[in-house]
A and B are shown apart, each in its own frame.
Chain A
Amino acid sequence: MDLQNQQRVKDAADKFGPENIVVILGSSDAEGAEIYAETVTNGDPTFAGPLAGAPLGLAVYHILEPEIKEEADQAVWEDQIGMMEMVLDGEALAEAVKGIREQYSKYTL
C-alpha cells in the first residue's frame, strides 16, 4: 500500500478509534486484496511504511462482500459497481479478505 495512504489509515485510527473504522477494499485481484487487508490489520508486511509493526486490527471487507453490498443503495450499486461485479471474481476476493479478517481483525461488523 502507498506509504502516504498507510499514514492516513494510521491517522484515522488515532482520530476516530480503531473500533469505529471499517476499511472497504476495491481491489481487482485476491492477492492484492490480501496484502491490503493484512496491512490494515496486522501491519505492513513489507515493513516499509508507517503501519509496519502496527497491528491496528481494523475491520476490513471487500466491496463485493454481501455484508457491504446489502448496506448500499442498490440502484446506485448497479450503476456504479454492477459492471465490475460481473468482471471481477467476487467470491475469490471475498474469501481472500475474509481469511485475513478472521486471522487478524480485532473488530468486525
Chain B
Amino acid sequence: MGKLSGKKLILLGERDGVAGPAMEESLKNCGAEVAFSVTECFV
C-alpha cells in the first residue's frame, strides 16, 4: 500500500508550474482522495 493511501489530498497547482488537474490525473490511482484541487495564477 502506498504512502498516500487513505489520505486526503489538497492540490494547490499553479498555472505557470504544475496545474491542479495534471496533479489530480497523475495521482488518481494512488489510493488517496482529492479533498480539493485548484490552480492559482499570478500576474
Binding site for B on A (CB under 8 A): 1-2, 5, 8-9, 12, 15-16, 20-29, 32, 36, 40, 58, 63-64, 67-68, 71-73, 76-77, 80-81, 84, 88, 109
Contacts and interface: CB of A to CB of B under 8 A. Distances in A.
B17 A73 contact: no
Contacts, number: 106
A40 B27 CA distance: 20
Contacts of A5: 12, 38, 40
Top-9 shortest CB links A-B: A28-B17, A26-B18, A26-B13, A80-B22, A72-B26, A28-B16, A71-B30, A109-B3, A12-B35
Given A22-B8, A24-B11, A32 B42 contact: yes
A interface: dominant SS: mixed
A15 B10 CA distance: 13
B17 A27 contact: yes
B10 A9 contact: yes
B9 A81 contact: no
Chain B interface category by residue count: 20 to 34
Interface of B: 2-4, 6-14, 16-20, 22-23, 25-30, 32, 35-36, 38-40, 42
Contacts of B29: 73
Contacts of B32: 22
